[in-house]
Amino acid sequence: MCPPHASEPQQAPLPIIDLSDGARAAALMRDAAASHGFFYIVNHGVDSTLVQRQFEQSRAFFALPEAEKNKVEANEQARGYTSSTYQTVDPKSTVPDALEGFWAWIPEVQPGEPGSELPYKGLNIWPDADLVPGFRETLTEYMVATEKLSRRVIKLVAQALDLPEDYFEPFFRHAQNQLRTMHYLKGKSEPENGKFGAGQHTDWGFITFLVDDGTPGLQLNYTGEWEDVKPVPNSFIVNFGDMLNEWSNGKFKSTKHRVVKPEKERYSCALFVAPSPDARIECLPTCVNGGAKYEPLLASQYLESKYKQLADSKKALADGTLKPI
């Protein structure tokens, strides 16, 4: 068999971490951090039927007329619907990323409740229950389940960094966790022409938990070449974000990734996990290694700077220009 052409993406052999084997999981996570920055988790405890119900509800929502979806257009806190003209994240893009999405934060906080004064705390924007029956309830159930999973994995991250398993708990008391369910529009990506499902980027937060509908498209770049990520049934694809990269002094790297999709449409859903707004991101004691590479900063400062870039990019798109994040 002839080797693939050098420009063609290869298959990424991501590590598979079995959460039922806790003693080994932390060591495997440490290995994944040093290699890909991405891995699969299996035996994670999230019911597969819940994952499928989430996809069914997302498909129902995205099938609504554009006018109905725009009634819950995302606000300045990135809650609600975002159309296919919402973002451009890759400097090589010639058109906006070919996806629409719906954003929700967990937990929802009523005005006056403890924590309601913090950035990005408040109530989500939901479509009318008559339009998509069960949408709010299913996505909320899914967010609760995946956030519970995230707390298990954060303990493993701590162990992989040679820290006590509860080290990060104080930093996540008012965690900024955000769900984004995504619909990649029909039409083949053309990376050579600057047309992407989602252009290359890294995730902003601490760690991300992703599921997709099995349609190919996700690619990552940890060697200098783009590699396809093959879906593994009943798994989550997990990757480290920019905050953890800086916290660990580059030890747990945040890897560039993108979506280059086939002709058919594609659905995926990500939980982006980030610490409390007042969490101080500075070099961990086990990661100093001769000196810190990054300046300390608060989690709120980091997210605010990123959301400002996103808002500027959205305004530029509305003005008829492209301004990648």
What are 255's two structure tokens? Answer: 């890897």
120: CB partners within 8 A, 6+ apart: 77, 78, 105, 176, 178, 277, 303
- Contacts with 266 (C-beta within 8 Å, 6 or more apart), sequence order: 183, 184, 197, 212, 213, 215, 217, 259
In terms of Cα–Cα distance, which of 9, 191, 4, 199 is closest to 87?
199
d(CA 317, CA 325): 12
Q: Given this model, what pLDDT does residue 11 score?
A: 60
Query: In degrees to the nearest 10, what's the CA dihedral of 194, 206, 242, 41?
Result: -60
- Predicted local confidence at residue 9, as pLDDT: 61
Structure-token pair, residue 36: 């890909």
Written as six digits, the tokens of 65 are 């007329």
By CB atoms closer than 10 A (0-12, 13-18, 19+), residue 143 is buried
Q: What is the DSSP letter of 73?
A: B
Tell me the β-bridge partners of 40: 16, 237
- Please state the pTM of the whole predicted model: 0.93
C-alpha–C-alpha distance, residues 122 and 177, integer Å: 12
Phi, psi for 177 (deg, rounded to 5): -105, 130
pLDDT of res. 204: 93
Identify the DSSP state of 135.
H
* pLDDT for res 317: 75
Full pLDDT tens readout for the chain, 325 residues:
333 444 456 565 799 999 999 889 999 999 999 899 999 999 999 999 999 999 999 999 999 999 999 999 999 888 999 999 888 888 889 999 999 999 999 999 899 988 888 888 899 999 999 999 999 999 999 999 999 999 999 999 999 999 999 999 999 999 999 999 999 999 999 999 999 999 999 999 999 999 999 999 999 999 999 999 988 999 999 999 999 999 999 999 999 999 999 999 999 999 999 999 999 999 999 999 889 999 999 998 888 887 777 777 777 777 878 778 7
38 pairs with which residues across the strands? Answer: 239
* Nearest-angstrom CA–CA distance, 292 and 194: 36
Tokens representing 70 are 């725009």
pLDDT value, residue 23: 80
DSSP sequence for 150-200? HHHHHHHHHHHTTS-TTTTGGGGTT--EEEEEEEEPSS--BGGGTB-SEEE
Q: Could you give the 3-state DSSP secondary structure of residue 274?
A: coil
Alpha-carbon distance of 35 to 15, in angstroms, equals: 9
